[in-house]
Structure 1
Amino acid sequence: MSQLNNTFARWLLSRLRLVGAVLLAGIAIGWAVGADALWRDPALGHKLDTTIQTFGVSRNGNDDDTAALQRMIDSGIGSIALPRGTYRITQPLVIDLDKVGVTSVVGDGTPRIVMEGIGPAIKFIGTHEGSADPKTVKDNVWRRQRMPIVEGIEIVGANNLADGIEAVKTMQLTISNVVIRHVRHAVHLTQRNRNVAIVGCHFYENRGVGVFLDDVNLHQINITGTHISYNQGGGVVSYKGNTRNIQISGCDIEGNVKNVLIDSGGTKYGTAEVAITGCTLQHSGGSESANVRYIGADSDGERCWGLVTIANNIISDVETNIDIQKARDVVITGNTISSGYKYNLRVEDSANVVVGPNAMGRNAPYKDDDTCDNSVLFRNCEDTTINGLHVHRVLRSEAGIILDHCRRIHLTGCTVLDCDNAGILLNEVEDSMISGNLLSNTSGNGDKWQALEVVGGKGNVVVP
């Protein structure tokens, strides 16, 4: 009997251990997979008619509204609805999304936030560590953090170190119908962000950058229908980082000295997969000014990054209209390009570049003959196709199109008219084909002009 009891006891103990293990596993799995379901939305604790008055926000432009607005954010109400008024703040409004839940700061275009402190007027902090792949987005991000919104407000800086909006580790940040003026950086993206949309905004007269991708790990950003003008540090700037899928479309970007600057230099992963389409990019001139400057260098300074399309834009009035450096796989087509003080197009140390039909010249009413050379230069490039390019009145340059120390260039079907000195200059070019181009000069200096000049080189087929 005793032996039977001992056997039963051992059996029961083993079963209890098994049940315990199953329960513990279930708890662990539930915590890992379903813990977010236990989170209660703090907005449910507030009445639907809760407003800024509930939290003591004055909006009179004199009182400091920082603490009251921060209380409203931290309450988890979610909808930070700002009626017309001036909201004076002296510290950043920090929106910790994982704590307070999905949050928007919205107005109807009438509210103004005046930032008198240092840092961003509004700072979103998320916890997203994954990519844009849905499998990498955790439940708490979808439930509590997705698509933070700023819409229909104006942010004005009243401190030299004030910024507009900063975002860290967010998913689907959306900024629309927002005016940001007199700050340092209007939109500052740092560390890691995914799927950013900026639509219908005005980033105007700021001391730094309009949209600053600051050494950020960011894939997918769409900047659409936005005015980005007179920002001293640049219009759209991507510096270092690990960035893919920059789409800039239908924007007016002007007066920023460097209207679009994408510099991969000094970083392992670089910036690639860039489309700049249907924009106006122009002004202001000055040393090193450019409308589009893309530097595809890797961390060792070698040509590496690219997959860039620049198409169907109106581009004018800077030192270099399009500047491609140390890049590969770049397409430039369908643009009107004029008033390049030095260059309409400069491509250096690059490969696999395709330049299609573009109008590169000067428009008489702009009267820029004395100020703009409009040069077209390819230097130290290889494996490049140039077809259907229309070049008109390049002045003070050795030729309308210059190929300098290039290899395997196919230049065909281009029209080069009324340029100083020569139509096309090949200087130490190898293994290239130049054919089927219209080269003509009726500008009055035909005695000094030659259609095609060849200096050195080898292995070329040249039929002007």
Structure 2
Amino acid sequence: MTLPAQLPSIEVKTMFPSGKRFVFTGISCAILLVGLQAAGSVMGWAAEKEEAWIDPATKYRPDAGIQSFHVQRDGRTDTTKALQGMIDAGIGSIILPRGNYRITEPLVVDLDKVGCTSITGDGTARIVMAGPGPAIKFIGTHEGSADPKTVKPNVWHKQRMPLVEGIEIVGTHEEADGIEAVKTMQLTISRVVIRHVRHAVHLVERNRNVVISACHFYENRGVGVYLDDVNLHQINITGSHISYNAGGGVVSKGGNTRNIQISGCDLEQNVQNVLIDSGGTKYGTAEVAVTGCTLQHSGGPNSANVRFIGAKPEGERCWGLVTIANNILSDVETNVDIQKARDVIVTGNTISSGYKYNLRVEDSSNVVIGPNVLGRNAPYRDEDTCENGVLLRNCDDGTISGLHVHEVLRAGAGIILDKCRRIHVSGCTVLDCDNAAILLNEVEGCRVADNLLAHKNASGDKWQKIEVVGGKDNVIEP
């Protein structure tokens, strides 16, 4: 034992009544310390290095990190096997520090085998998918619904809430995807960036209670969030930017889907920013809300901001329970497009720059169109490109009230009802639209009354408040 050059003095007061004190200085202090250390060793007092606890189930420490699995993050090394080994070890918490993690095959998270798993970072980690398929694929076994009675114990014990948070996924392969999930319960994706892949989030077969929040799905070849013929009830997509995805922003096709909630998002330049298509499927999609979003841009052929198709397999109108409320929509061929649907409400929106239509509803029933502003905004200078039409064609049993329509150009009228039945139009303001304010063509049992219809440059026969062509059993009052 090496002693320091100078040793402190130690004064010890005895516990006897006399209170006698002993002072140890110099070498006597050293002898005292050595003696105490020796006694401690004999009595088992000496501090030893704590051994890290090893989880007997995984054979790893619970805080095992990428170093334990030799995961490289230089962006050049193929680290697929190392990361897959880390997942398969069952440690659960896959934490990715700053770096570029290049993989060439999907990282498969078989939840029933490896248990509850999260793949997380602090925003500085990037997974580069250099092969085909999803960068991350979650596989569960949930066959039930969202009803707790249908969820088996192993799902709660091993599979609940697979989580991806705080990372970026970038594809360098033409067939690379971002995240795919099948038969999961409570998949949660938060603060994730996915770029240059095919589909950013791809949900297939069956999933329940999905949450996507505060994400950026940007410049992908396919769809931002793709519900691909999936049996899925309850998905919340909130506070996210979903833009420049060539196949669409949020797309649901086929399947059996309920409770799609899209709120507080920015969806831009996706050709079809939101597309819900039940065509050709038995169970369809219903209970959809698009609220508080900004949806705009692309303007190409067949583009739409919100398009809902509620047809059953025979092609007849069927599915609905749709709310489109309090959004800003602009700069596409058709801003809101409702086809073969029922039980739909469109209210509280600001809608402009529809190249053909601001609102089109066809072959639908029980559609309510409440107060919305539909028209053009002068600073955008879209007079030569946008007609901004409002059309209901072959619809039954609807209500239009409090609608503000202005400057519909090159169309038959500001509001057109074509071959509709039992539509009630009241309390609307229709201003400065070409040809007529309202056009009724072969409508039956409709009521049009108590509207303000005007044109600041109206003269002679060039403009009419209400133009009526054919039809029967209608009540028409300006």
TM-score (norm: length of structure 2): 0.88
TM-fit CA distance, 1:417: 0.1
Partner of 2:275: 261
Pick from 34, 56, 66 the counterpart of residue 70 of structure 2: 56
TM-fit CA distance, 1:452: 0.3
SS in 2 for 1:108: strand
Partner of 2:112: 98
Pick from 138, 147, 153 the counterpart of residue 133 of structure 1: 147
- Supply the distance in 2 between the matched residues of 1:365 and 1:323 (Cα, whole angstroms): 25
Give structure 1 regions of 4+ aligned residues with deviation exceeding 4 angstroms. 41-44, 444-447
Partner of 1:365: 379
Partner of 2:422: 408
CA gap 1:127/1:421 in 2 versus in 1, 3 angstroms = same
- Supply the distance in 2 between the matched residues of 1:281 and 1:443 (Cα, whole angstroms): 33
Match for 2:161: what amino acid? M
Partner of 1:88: 102
- Supply the distance in 2 between the matched residues of 1:137 and 1:289 (Cα, whole angstroms): 40
Confirm whether residue 243 of structure 1 aligns to residue 257 of structure 2: yes
SS in 2 for 1:140: helix
More divergent stretch after superposition (139-148 vs 45-54): 45-54
TM-fit CA distance, 1:443: 3.6
Partner of 1:308: 322
Residue deviations 1:269-305, cap 9 Å, x none?
Answer: 0000000000000001110000000000001111000
- Supply the distance in 1 between the matched residues of 2:384 and 2:198 (Cα, whole angstroms): 35
CA RMSD of aligned residues (A): 1.0
Partner of 1:289: 303
CA gap 1:398/1:315 in 2 versus in 1, 3 angstroms = same
SS in 1 for 2:82: helix
Partner of 1:232: 246
1:2-81 aligned at under 5 Å gives the runs 45-81=59-95
- Supply the distance in 2 between the matched residues of 1:315 and 1:48 (Cα, whole angstroms): 49
- Supply the distance in 2 between the matched residues of 1:72 and 1:104 (Cα, whole angstroms): 12
Pick from 128, 131, 137 the counterpart of residue 123 of structure 1: 137
Partner of 1:29: none
- Supply the distance in 1 between the matched residues of 2:105 and 2:314 (Cα, whole angstroms): 40
The question of whether the paired residues in 2 share the 8 Å contact of 1:42 and 1:75 is answered with no
Partner of 1:448: 462
The question of whether the paired residues in 1 share the 8 Å contact of 2:225 and 2:251 is answered with yes
Match for 2:384: what amino acid? D
The question of whether the paired residues in 1 share the 8 Å contact of 2:62 and 2:91 is answered with no
TM-fit CA distance, 1:45: 3.7
- Supply the distance in 2 between the matched residues of 1:267 and 1:305 (Cα, whole angstroms): 11
Partner of 1:350: 364
Residue deviations 1:135-170, cap 9 Å, x none?
Answer: 000000000000000000000000010000000000
Partner of 1:13: none
Match for 2:394: what amino acid? N
SS in 1 for 2:473: coil
TM-fit CA distance, 1:50: 1.1
- Supply the distance in 2 between the matched residues of 1:443 and 1:215 (Cα, whole angstroms): 52
**Length, aligned pairs only:** 424
- Supply the distance in 2 between the matched residues of 1:301 and 1:447 (Cα, whole angstroms): 41
SS in 2 for 1:373: coil
TM-fit CA distance, 1:426: 0.2
Pick from 174, 177, 184 the counterpart of residue 188 of structure 2: 174
SS in 1 for 2:225: strand
- Supply the distance in 1 between the matched residues of 2:328 and 2:174 (Cα, whole angstroms): 33
CA gap 1:233/1:42 in 2 versus in 1, 3 angstroms = farther
TM-fit CA distance, 1:42: 7.1
1:184-223 aligned at under 5 Å gives the runs 184-223=198-237
- Supply the distance in 2 between the matched residues of 1:160 and 1:256 (Cα, whole angstroms): 19
- Supply the distance in 2 between the matched residues of 1:317 and 1:155 (Cα, whole angstroms): 30
TM-fit CA distance, 1:49: 3.3
Match for 1:330: what amino acid? V
Partner of 2:22: none
- Supply the distance in 1 between the matched residues of 2:459 and 2:185 (Cα, whole angstroms): 60
TM-score (norm: length of structure 1): 0.90
The question of whether the paired residues in 1 share the 8 Å contact of 2:58 and 2:89 is answered with no
The question of whether the paired residues in 2 share the 8 Å contact of 1:42 and 1:76 is answered with no
TM-fit CA distance, 1:47: 1.1
- Supply the distance in 1 between the matched residues of 2:459 and 2:299 (Cα, whole angstroms): 29
Q: What fraction of aligned residue pairs are identical, expressed as a percent?
A: 77
The question of whether the paired residues in 2 share the 8 Å contact of 1:42 and 1:100 is answered with no
- Supply the distance in 1 between the matched residues of 2:68 and 2:356 (Cα, whole angstroms): 59
SS in 2 for 1:107: strand
Partner of 1:278: 292
